[in-house]
Amino acid sequence: MKIKSTFVHLANSVLPVLLAFLIGGIIIAMLGENPLDTYGILLSKSLLTSKGFLTTLHYASPLILTGLAIAITFKANIFNMGVEGQMLLGAFFSGIIGAYLPAGMNSVLAKIVCLTVGVLCGAISAMLPAVLKAYFKVNEMVVTLMLNYAIIKILEFLSTGVFRDITAGYVCTPTIQKNAMFSRLGSSRITAFFFIAVAAFAVMYFVMNKSKLGYETTAIGKNPEFAEATGMKVHKKILMLMAISGALSGLAGAGYMMSEKFKFTLDFSGNPGLGWDGMLIALLGAHSPVGILIAAVFYAALKTGADNINLYSMVPKEIVAVIQGLIILFLSIKFLSENSVTGPKIRSLFAKLTNRKAGRENK
């Protein structure tokens, strides 16, 4: 029973990736390049060299956090689509604080201050939809989604006006102070932020799998009436989960600011954005913390590998964006489910194929 459901989960995450690579391979072949060579570069440079792997881990750090931020709410059947906005808000204000800190401040303290500001901004901005949902039954999906745009526009206003760094030739906020920056370890890009993300992962692993809150989250997600009748105060849990989700998002933004960007620009989060990537990662990881860790590293590997594709082959790096898009497309299909019609059919097909193969071998 348990093995079967793990198999289904695994298949539902791995099949979309394989299919995306398959179709991506066809496109590469049409460009006149060898897909296997290209994929070889993509994965070996990002996962199999120590420098590449550490860079991959560096880029995975914010994705682990945004992925967890999505997963904790989805598990309770609440949809925090505002991870992107919460992340940006956390990033922006940790960047502002970081820029205006006294230069002589203790560097550990400076980092703690910046991270705390980021976490608080994320958590507080998640409270608005949470309160509306818990006490006024307003659909949180709509509110969180729309708030992203409100936040983005407000930050645009702040970074082009009040907080603009006038010495720079483009729109950005002042660079954060040296003492608030995470320094790189060795020649790779990895910083202490990665370890903070892993620590957050460890905490969330225990919260989601071993704690009372995790237990109640599952119950609320699976049967809210049951949760209410057994005394889990659902509206309070909604507030708590949204706060955690917002805090993780804010932490992701602050950490990315302090380890990679050092100033807020209008394209801070890239395209499609760390929050949206987090959603894909949560889906890919089937909302389980370990799955998310793996998915985030894999996703970051694509990012790191993309730069190498440009360097070592004629394939444009945009192929990675194509593959990512295809993964999203195929992820929306449930290939196998424990009680669907197609699940057993596909499984019996596999069984038939393996039997035939075995039969042939016996002959």
Partner 1 sequence: MSIIQTVDLTKKFGDFTANDAINLSVDKQEIKCIVGENGAGKTTLMNMLYGLLRPTSGKILIRDQETVINSPVQAIANGLGMVHQHFKLVHSLTVYENIMLGTEIKKSKNSVFVDNKKEIKVVRELIDKYKFDLNPLDKIEDISVGSRQRVEILKMLYRDVDILILDEPTAVLTPQEVDDLFVNLRELRGQGKTIIVITHKLREVMELSDSVTVIKQGKVVGNVLTKDTSEAELAQMMVGRDVMLTVKNEQNGPVSGATAYQAENICTINDYGKEVLHNISFSVKKGEILGIAGVEGNGQSELVKVLTGIMKTTKGKLTIDGKDITDKWPDELRRNGIGIIPEDRYAQGLCADMSLSDNCIAGYHSNPQVCSKAGFMKRKKINELRDKFVKNFDIRVGSIDGSVGQLSGGNAQKVIIAREFESNSKLLIACQPTRGVDIGSIEFIHKQILAYRDRGNAVILISSELSEIMSLSTRIAVMYKGEIVGEVNPKETNTTAIGLLMAGIKN
Among the candidate windows 92-100, 141-149, 193-201, 209-217, which touches partner 1 by CB under 8 A? 209-217
Count CB neighbours of 212 within 10 A.
Answer: 9
Among the candidate windows 27-35, 106-114, 121-129, 226-234, which touches partner 1 by CB under 8 A? 226-234
- By CB under 8 A, the count of residues binding partner 1 is 23
Binding residue for partner 1, selected from 153, 210, 345, 356, defined by CB under 8 A: 210
Q: Distance between alpha carbon 232 and the CA centroid of its chain, in Å?
A: 29
Q: Which of 31, 2, 132, 66 is nearest to 284 (CA)?
A: 66
Is residue 215 a contact point for partner 1 (CB under 8 A)? yes
In the bound state with partner 1, the residue whose beta carbon lies nearer, of 104 and 231, is 231
Both tokens of 177, joined, read 């102070």
Is residue 225 a contact point for partner 1 (CB under 8 A)? yes
HSE-CB for 178 with a 13 A CA cutoff = 2
In the bound state with partner 1, the residue whose beta carbon lies nearer, of 186 and 231, is 231
In the bound state with partner 1, the residue whose beta carbon lies nearer, of 114 and 200, is 200
Element (H, E) at 91: helix 83-100
Binding residue for partner 1, selected from 226, 349, 350, 352, defined by CB under 8 A: 226
Binding mask 229-268 for partner 1 (x = CB under 8 A): xxxxx-----------------------------------
Is residue 43 a contact point for partner 1 (CB under 8 A)? no
In sign, the C-alpha dihedral spanning 7, 9, 14, 20 is positive
Q: What angle separates helix 192-210 from helix 212-222, to the nearest 10 degrees?
A: 70
Binding residue for partner 1, selected from 6, 77, 160, 223, defined by CB under 8 A: 223
Q: How far is the CB of 352 from partner 1 (least distance, A)?
A: 27
DSSP assignments along 297-318, one per residue: HHHHHHHHHHHHHHHHSSS-TH
Could you write out the three-class secondary structure of 112-139?
A: HHHHHHHHHHHHHHHHHHHHHHHHHCCC
Binding residue for partner 1, selected from 1, 103, 162, 341, defined by CB under 8 A: 1
Do residues 225 and 113 lie in contact, with contact meaning Cβ atoms separated by under 8 Å? no
- Which residues bind to partner 1, rule: CB under 8 A? 1-2, 206, 210-216, 218-219, 222-223, 225-233
